[in-house]
Structure 1
């Protein structure tokens, strides 16, 4: 959720024990990065911890797509101390497995224990097997009880994380009645000065509690008209009894927009002048339905969801730079993973939250930034954890084999869009990464026939925010092009450096080496193992490029030996002319605007055309019901 979330140092309370879905939500919230997590046995205890100052923040469930509102959370917000505000939200897909101790996993299942909501969401499984049930305070507590007091025939319904955490084995997977169930969790901050209202992101939600002072006919309709008359969408209305006398209620409302938006602010001020008490619960990034667009018609939903959560696998130069750059964007939650613990420690010190590769499963975009020879293993490991068909991209400098590998391992579980940032350095590792590495550079994006246009739009919007220029190409065209402009220069650099070192008088050469030589051999400082593997994976294209270059070198050698300096000068002149074209390519720019409803089709047409003719997308913005594109197309 990015830099506009309130980041409060100290302790964060959550509905425990360790292994609950709320604990998983804590792990996915960037806002609690670096805080000590404290488990509580109930939602009410989390609120009590906030009110007494025992913790500075809290994470609690607020609603489930199947079972509805979590009333304990609503009561804490409505009747608890003022000043506890919602600073962020996270959506967690809910999947249930049945676990038993390994020593008893062969016994016939007769009874299951879990939280009431979990039991309710697995009614069909329980009913078909005629299982008995026991209620626990949380799904994790069920696992904890089973570990401490194992019983034959008794299982715990919980998440995979909880089962693994308590050393149990799964005897049934995915037993939930509804496969797309989601629970919404909210991050609560105690002090207003820490909480809360950063600048609007353009994709916000504001939560309010409205309590009519008098019970009059039509009073609720009158209150809601303050929103409808201004075109403000209400995504949730929930009533709760005031606990004073029968028939008295307060109303929870989630409104699209930020309290600092003129339209929504005006609506709230108008409510304050009526016979109603207004309790402001917070404005925060809306992760449930993409960004909010504003226009003459007021506030409405974007058709094309903005990417809000990104996982970066591999925190070296490229992956680390990507994570740093994304961390600087508003409204983006970034997590990282690297098998090197030292790289993760450095990333954590830079404010990037590190998670296991399983923690990438709920991200909307996953960037695979590992050495090319490790991509296949990462795709295979990642595929087991993908939850909502995210976009997956990579940064490898060969696209054909990577595209085949991604299709083989990710299949329909992800939208794979091959990527290659044309930026880098001879240095490596997170210590060399920097947030501005990609600014103004091309990002090659592979174009395939079966990719939905909306996936391209979502990825390109994010790349545009990073100030990158998208160059669409087919995998075949990319591999042929980079064999000339990237792979061949590395071959030349390594061989030139190696050949020079074998010459007599090497010490003198080292003393005299200056700009021209250093420019030519700079990239030979990169990993020879990685570049040998890259050339192996693009061997046919590199061999063709090298063969053509050797032919040109042979001509130059013949001209020198025969003293045909004019012919040698012509080669130099041709290179000089091409140098100017490479340094300052000419483009014809045009601004394009499409309605959102047709943009997915239009962008595919444009990308496919550019992939054949050349060109790049210099900017792409989505808002106000339209998609705006700046396309730089090659002249001629």
Structure 2
């Protein structure tokens, strides 16, 4: 298939980012045009406008929690993305490395302070004064940074691969990036330390988004190993996830409890709850609820549909943000 006839998949770039890895995991490169974007909002805009068939965005890290930039875009306080729905997910093991220009090929001396985490520098990093990375990475590498680079200035950039790109331009050796080992190869950087994240099992979950009027998710998005399960006796498909946002009248005692009871009434397992400022007034919030289950088509019955009907009667307003197959094998 020629490039001009292939659907476009937008992702948080540049190439070499963890989002790029998630995109290649979810989409066959030969069937799609993989298009890097500068920001997460650029991905939302490309999908909302129809310029991209799908988008891939970071959503949550196992050790550092939700990506608030993504939550705020889903909250959509200004109504810019009314047609965005989640239709898939991808998990990528995150193994941050410290990348830069090593002063020599010699390995690090043994005079470093005792490390709290297993990671130790493998090159001299005493000259590093500036660090670059995506904001989410700082909280994932606290022990290493506090042990070896507490003095270094931290600079937020749009992605870990962008950080590597910037450091590659500084030949002085005073800059370093928290990025992937793939980025080291892409930008010809030295690996100054490997696997510096606090938790070895550190994993980031990425979501695949689409417009609500686009076709169903492509077959190239692999399903979970459990996805072959048959539908439940109540007609709902097992091993699916659903994301919902809602707001409540916070002046009404018990308002949130009433909303959550709608899910309990239908036996739905809530797997996460997040909040972000509503933009309506100070200390008023949008609630994000992720649950196990699938919203059925209009006119069809199901637990999620029933819970949404109940929720609509007790909340100020809600929005269904999509249902998709679970790809987490342990869940």
Query: Which residue in the other structure is 1:63 paired with?
Result: 60
- 2:196 counterpart of 1:175: yes
After superposition, residues 220-235 of structure 1 pair within 5 angstroms as 220-235=256-271
Deviation, structure 1 residue 67: 1.7
Question: What is residue 166 of structure 2 aligned with on the other side?
Answer: 145
* 1:333-354 deviation per Cα after TM superposition (whole angstroms, max 9, x unaligned): xxxxxxxxxxxxxxxxxxxxxx
Between the two proteins, the alignment pairs up a number of residues equal to 284
Match 1:118 to one of 116, 131, 137? 137
Report the equivalent of 2:37.
40
Which range is displaced more, 186-195 or 66-75? 186-195
Q: How do 1:458-607 and structure 2 match up within 5 A?
A: none
User: 2:87 corresponds to which residue?
Assistant: 87
Query: 1:278 aligns to what?
Result: 318
Match of 2:72 in 1: 75
What SS class does the counterpart of residue 273 from structure 1 fall into? helix
Q: Secondary structure at the match of 1:194?
A: coil
Aligned pair partner of 1:262 in 302, 321, 326: 302
Give the whole-Å Cα distance in 1 for the aligned partners of 2:98 and 2:237. 40
Note if 1:205 corresponds to 2:205: no
Residue 18 of structure 1: aligned partner: 15
Q: Please state how far the C-alpha of 1:195 moved relative to its aligned partner.
A: 4.3
Aligned partners of 1:13 and 1:49 also within 8 Å = yes
Determine the C-alpha separation between the residues in 2 that align with 1:259 and 1:174: 39
Q: Distance in 1 between matches of 2:103 and 2:302?
A: 62
Distance in 2 (CA, whole Å) between partners of 1:215 and 1:92 is 41
In the superposition, the TM-score normalised over structure 2's length comes to 0.78
Matches within 5 A, 1:293-332: none
CA gap of 1:197–1:253, structure 2 versus 1, over 3 A, is farther
User: 1:245-275 CA distances to partner (integer Å, 9 max, x unpaired)?
Assistant: 1122111111111112722221112212334
Displacement after TM superposition at 1:50 (Å): 2.1
Q: Among 86, 108, 115, which residue is 2:124 paired with?
A: 108
Measured in 2, the distance between the counterparts of 1:214 and 1:264 equals 24
Which structure 2 segments of 5+ residues have no match? 107-122, 220-230
2:186 to 165, 169, 177: 165
Q: Distance between the aligned counterparts of 1:278 and 1:105, measured in 2? A: 57
Counterpart Cα distance in 1 of 2:147 and 2:139:
14
The separation in 1 between residues aligned to 2:320 and 2:28, in whole angstroms, is: 20
CA RMSD of aligned residues (A): 2.6
Question: Alignment partner of 1:287: what SS?
Answer: coil
> How much has 1:78 moved relative to structure 2?
1.7
- For residues 214 and 176 of structure 2, what CA distance do their matches in structure 1 show? 46
Rg larger in 1 or in 2? 1
Give the equivalent residue in structure 2 for 1:96: 96
1:110-145 alpha-carbon deviations (Å, 9 max, x no partner):
323222221221121122223513313221112111
Greater relative CO, 1 or 2 (CA 8 Å, sep 6+): 2
Distance in 2 (alpha carbons) for counterparts of 1:179 and 1:155 = 21
In the other structure, the counterpart of 1:428 is none
Match of 2:206 in 1: 185
Matched, 1:128 2:150: no
Superposed CA offset, 1:78-121 (max 9, x none): 21422210000111111111222467555731323222221221
Partner Cα distance (2:246, 2:161) in 1: 35
CA contact (8 A) 2:132 2:167 kept: no
Distance 1:273 1:19 in 2: 46
Secondary structure of the residue aligned to 2:314 is: coil
Partners of 2:104 and 2:237 in 1: CA distance? 52
Where does the alignment leave 5 or more consecutive residues of structure 1 unmatched? Answer: 1-7, 291-304, 306-636
Q: Is 1:51 equivalent to 2:48 in the alignment?
A: yes
Q: 1:70 to 1:129 in 2, by over 3 A?
A: same
Distance 1:275 1:145, change over 3 A: closer
Cα pair 2:92 2:205 within 8 Å, conserved: yes
1:553-598 deviation per Cα after TM superposition (whole angstroms, max 9, x unaligned):
xxxxxxxxxxxxxxxxxxxxxxxxxxxxxxxxxxxxxxxxxxxxxx
